[in-house]
Amino acid sequence: MILNAKQIYVLDDEPGVRQSIEAILLSEGYQVKSFAKGEELIHYLDQTTYTAPSVALVDLRLPDMSGVTVMGKIKEKSPETEVIILTGNPDLSSAVDSVNTRAYAYLIKPYNMDQIKNILEKILEKQRLVKENKELTEKLKSWNEKLEEEVHRRTVALNESYLKLQRLYEIRTQFITIISHELRTPSTSLMGFSDTLRDGWTSLSKEKIDKYLKIISQEAGRLVHLLNEIFEISRIQEGKLELNLAPVEMRSYLRQLIDDYRNNYPEFSFALQEKGEAIHLPVDAHYLKVALHHIFLNAMKYSLEKNTIVILLEAMANKFFLTIEDEGPGIIPELQEKVFEPFFRMMDDVNRKTPGAGLGLSIARGIIERMQGTVTIVPKRTGGKGCSVVVQLPLSSHG
């Protein structure tokens, strides 16, 4: 309970004593509330208008009860209120009782008002210091809590930054390792066959010259393909991939795409399964083709010749689903998200024999996500071994 620094109670059954103390305290600027009986003061403590006094001057011997009893009631209601016990008949027992119930002072009649005023000043100074200390403690607690919150926030942010830097360092290391290898191989071939053609152009047969030129063209194409992949993944990760969305009828779009794959990769079988009616989607036709190309290349890489790659096309619940299933060895659950990370390549026989930087699926997911879609690996709907990649796109643009 908050103390009223100017409020003082005076409890004394002698009217003359009570009135003289009240008059002097009022002249000093205090607000005084006087009581003749202990019961009156105790009853007042229970009033709704009660405000805790800073000091109570209580006569030890009252007609209805002991002043020590009244002091206990005051302390029970307002522990911060200081009580000065007044008595005209001092004895050791009453002094001990006063001390035990935490009386601030024990004064003997006749009173010296200068002494009382001096004690009041000390009490008010003490209460002022206690109040200031309490306020400072609360402020310090509040500041400490805010500091802890800020330290925690900064620690979390620092930890996140550290993890990001660690991941960037890992990606950088992977990038240098993979790209240096992927660049070195075609570069070596280009230099080797170029030198061979330069030094032996007049002595080489036309068949060998054509063969070497074909290799140079293939290796140069491989370099261009690698550089394009690096360029695409950097634009995706930096949020700089610009799309031109326009309505595309997906059935005819995919039929044409599958026909191109059948012509370009006759060693595989492509089966397109369609459900429902025409489906129009707001997509970037060029970049969707790039994304699907990476998914198809991955499916073909892990499929044997004459294997069938199944493409399932359907729309439901305001979403378009394109599922691409192969008959390869499949991807274990622990790596089904890992394969979408840049530069990640599974350590298997297929990847050891096939050049690549591990960017294809990462580029595919980045493009599809820019179109508000998702790319995931799920169990095959057609059953059997292999991998099933699901491309999900919204039937309407989200802006």
Whole domain around residue 98: which residue ranges?
3-111
Residue 117 lies in a domain: no
> Is residue 214 located within the same domain as residue 269?
no
Sequence-distant (6+) residues with CB within 8 A of 57 are 8, 9, 10, 11, 12, 21, 83, 84, 86, 116
Cα R_g (the chain), whole angstroms = 45
- 143: buried, middle or exposed (CB in 10 Å: 19+, 13-18, 0-12)? exposed
- 151: buried, middle or exposed (CB in 10 Å: 19+, 13-18, 0-12)? exposed
> Is residue 107 located within the same domain as residue 88?
yes
- The whole-angstrom separation of Cα 165 and Cα 229 is 23
Strand order across the 3-11 sheet: 31-35, 3-11, 52-59, 82-87, 105-108
3-state secondary structure the chain: CCEEEEEEEEECCCHHHHHHHHHHHHHCCCEEEEECCHHHHHHHHCCCCCCEEEEEEEECECCCCEHHHHHHHHHHHCCCCEEEEEECCCCHHHHHHHHHCCCCEEEECCCCHHHHHHHHHHHHHHHHHHHHHHHHHHHHHHHHHHHHHHHHHHHHHHHHHHHHHHHHHHHHHHHHHHHHHHHHHHHHHHHHHHHHHHHHCCCCCHHHHHHHHHHHHHHHHHHHHHHHHHHHHHHHHCCCCCCCCEEEEHHHHHHHHHHHHHHHCCCCEEEEEECCCCCEEEECHHHHHHHHHHHHHHHHHCCCCCCEEEEEEEEECCEEEEEEECCCCCCCHHHCCHHHCCCCCCCCHHHHHCCCCCCHHHHHHHHHHHCCCEEEEECCCCCCCCCEEEEEEECCCCC
pLDDT at 393 over 60: yes
How many structural domains comprise the chain?
A: 3
Query: What number is the average pLDDT over the span 1-12?
Result: 85
Residue, of 74 and 222, whose pLDDT is higher: 74
Using one digit for the tens of pLDDT, what is the confidence trace for 297-314? 888 887 777 788 888 888
Residue 128 lies in a domain: no
Residue 314 confidence (pLDDT): 86
> Is residue 251 located within the same domain as residue 225?
no
b/e map 153-185, b = 16+ CB within 10 Å: eeeeeeeeeeeeeeeeeeeeebbeebbeebeee
Residue 10 confidence (pLDDT): 93
> Token match 């009616």: residue?
277
- Per-residue tokens: 7: 């409020």
Q: How many residues does the chain have?
A: 399
> Is residue 260 located within the same domain as residue 213?
no
Query: What average pLDDT does the chain have?
Result: 82
Which of the listed residues 215, 237, 259 is the one where a domain comes to its end? 237
Residue 398 confidence (pLDDT): 45
- Per-residue tokens: 11: 């409890």
> Is residue 95 located within the same domain as residue 168?
no
Using one digit for the tens of pLDDT, what is the confidence trace for 226-238? 777 777 777 777 7
pTM of the model: 0.51
Strands 82-87 and 105-108: parallel
Residue 124 lies in a domain: no
Give the percent of the chain with pLDDT over 70.
86
> Is residue 59 located within the same domain as residue 187?
no
Sequence-distant (6+) residues with CB within 8 A of 335 are 346
Residue, of 278 and 326, whose pLDDT is higher: 326
> Is residue 275 located within the same domain as residue 381?
yes
> Is residue 232 located within the same domain as residue 290?
no
Using one digit for the tens of pLDDT, what is the confidence trace for 193-203? 888 888 878 78
> Is residue 288 located within the same domain as residue 178?
no
If pLDDT is split at 50, 70 and 90, which confidence band does 131 have?
Answer: confident
Residue 399 confidence (pLDDT): 41
Q: Give the CATH number, domain containing residue 105.
A: 3.40.50.2300
> Token match 């990847």: residue?
351
> Is residue 308 located within the same domain as residue 368?
yes
Residue 346 confidence (pLDDT): 64
Using one digit for the tens of pLDDT, what is the confidence trace for 29-39? 899 999 999 99
- The whole-angstrom separation of Cα 70 and Cα 93 is 17
If pLDDT is split at 50, 70 and 90, which confidence band does 12 have?
Answer: very high
> Is residue 353 located within the same domain as residue 300?
yes
Using one digit for the tens of pLDDT, what is the confidence trace for 153-166? 999 988 988 888 88
